[in-house]
Amino acid sequence: MSTVRVLVGTRKGAFILTSDEKREQWQVDGPYFGGWEIYHLKGSPADPNRIYASQSSDWFGQVMHRSDDGGQTWTTVGNEFAYAGETGTHQWYDGTPHPWDFKRVWHLEPSPSNPDVVYAGVEDAALFRSDDAGQTWQELPGLRRHDTSGIWQPGAGGLCLHTILLDPANPDRIVVAISASGAFRSDDGGQTWKAINQGLRSDYIPDPQAEVGHCVHHVAMHPSNPDRLFMQKHWDVMRSDNAGDEWYEISDSLPSDFGFVIDVHAHEPETIYVVPIKSDSEHYPPDGKLRVYRRRGGNEWEALTDGLPQENCYVNILRDAMSVDKLDPCGIYFGTTGGQVYVSADGGDHWQAIVHDLPAVLSVEAQLLP
Amino acid sequence: MIRVIIPHHLRNLAGVGAEVSVAVAEPVTQRAVLDALEARYPVLRGTIRDYSTGQRRAYLRFFAGAEDLSHEAPDAPLPPDVANGKEPLRIIGAIAGG
């Protein structure tokens, strides 16, 4: 019988949730790294017991960890993230030039094929890669040297590179997203980059259709069709059928098209999930009802509410806090700033809380173990 | 030996108790003590001083007894009581946030 393992990063440590394939009874282990912010943990697709963790705090900076036994024990690995060459400046909130300054690792993306290779998306925005299981990190500076980088501005959370998508069929193709700059794609393994924001419209910036400046919250891809991308932008849910060259809006009937998370069903490449949030200044679900919305390829969004609180719910679901497993039926997971982690073992039809009272959840990653 | 008291989270990270001792050749300075501390406990690299700038992290302060050394030059000699091991050098985290 398979095992599902869910890696949860929170404001005050990491937790590991495990269950059999029924996903009804869960074991909760942790906190690991108690008291530290764990922005993200992710396991290697090539070796699921190889897990990378980003641990940080305002007091002590960035610490990186790796586990080779599924999270039972951890080794501290390299935490030096040195920008390559001259760092230059990006724009600060007030429009003045601001030197690039490393703050933390937001997202870790292990290679689909090599457990020793892992990418790190950091604040201030840059992409790093390790080829030695996290011991050392090298920047891929072509992104930070993009023609537009001098006018990149931070979003409320900082100038963070929060999304990294590795094309499983083409190791040279990488898609990243940066708040509040937009999405970028490399077709040469990260050496050069193209802004892929055509079709995005952001009415909160001076030029709503600018090449960069869009606050992309998250991007998702189904591995069977890497050219099809789904985006939850600051406002608007978007889709691209050509690897980001052009985007079109699919928000349609959502009660709000503001939100942070978006993910794709493991076996239905056209089925996606979002959690609408009321607005950019009211980071909680509309009407106090926690509803996941599912879209199955057509134009209709379906509210999924069974097992989710439908009154007095004012939590947020942050950008890396949704994941899917590869079981059939597909399991959907998300965590909230109120410390709940919810699971649906049937593609979203029914939900239950695995835990109710963790610290605010920053990230959720599901793994399927043989 | 120079005595150093480090904050709770760094104790956990390094797997040590509240106080550690490091051997430091004279002159005993902040930089020399922190270099020795990081050499003995490499997991502390980057956690007390910023990796890129080498500067003390903003939410950390250095004390000898009640004397605040945080803004002393890194290469200034530490007080005699720290240099002779009578007093520890205290690395204290700011009381900030939850």
Taking residues A9-28, report their average pLDDT. 98
Q: What is the pTM of this model?
A: 0.96
pLDDT of residue B97: 64
Residue B78: inside a domain: yes
Whole-angstrom CA distances from A93 to A58, A100, A155, A158, A206 are: 20, 13, 8, 9, 14
Instruction: With a cut of 90, say whether residue A299 has pLDDT above it.
Output: no
pLDDT digits (tens, 9 = 90+) for A78-137: 999 999 999 999 999 999 999 999 999 999 999 999 999 999 999 999 999 999 999 999
pLDDT of residue A266: 97
The percent of residues above 70 in pLDDT, for chain A, comes to 100
pLDDT of residue B94: 86
Residue B98: inside a domain: no
Instruction: Provide CB contacts within 8 A for A275, sequence distance 6+.
Output: A259, A260, A261, A285, A290, A291, A292, A293, A317, A322, A334
pLDDT digits (tens, 9 = 90+) for A129-186: 999 999 999 999 999 999 999 999 999 899 999 999 999 999 999 999 999 999 999 9
Output the domain CATH number for residue B69.
3.10.20.30
Alpha carbon of B53: minimum distance to chain A alpha carbons (Å): 10
Q: Is A36 on the interface with B (CB under 8 A)?
A: yes
pLDDT digits (tens, 9 = 90+) for A314-327: 999 999 999 999 99
User: Quick one: closest CA in A to B94, which residue?
Assistant: A59
Inter-chain CB proximity A35 and B93 less than 8 Å: no
Number of domains in chain B: 1
Alpha carbon of B87: minimum distance to chain A alpha carbons (Å): 24
Using 50, 70 and 90 to split pLDDT, how confident is the model at B98?
A: low
Of 3.30.360.10, 2.40.10.10, 2.80.10.50, 2.130.10.10, the CATH number of A46-325 is: 2.130.10.10
Write out residues 80-139 of A within 8 Å (CB-CB) of B.
Answer: 80-83, 101-102
Tokens 């601001």 locate to A98
pLDDT of residue A169: 92
What's the domain range around B23? 2-93
Its ipTM equals 0.92
Q: Which residues of A25-35 are buried (b: 16+ CB within 10 A; e: fewer)?
A: ebeeebbbbeb
Residue B40: inside a domain: yes
Mean of the per-residue pLDDT values for chain B? Answer: 94
pLDDT of residue B52: 84
Q: Which two tokens stand for residue A148?
A: 């537009």
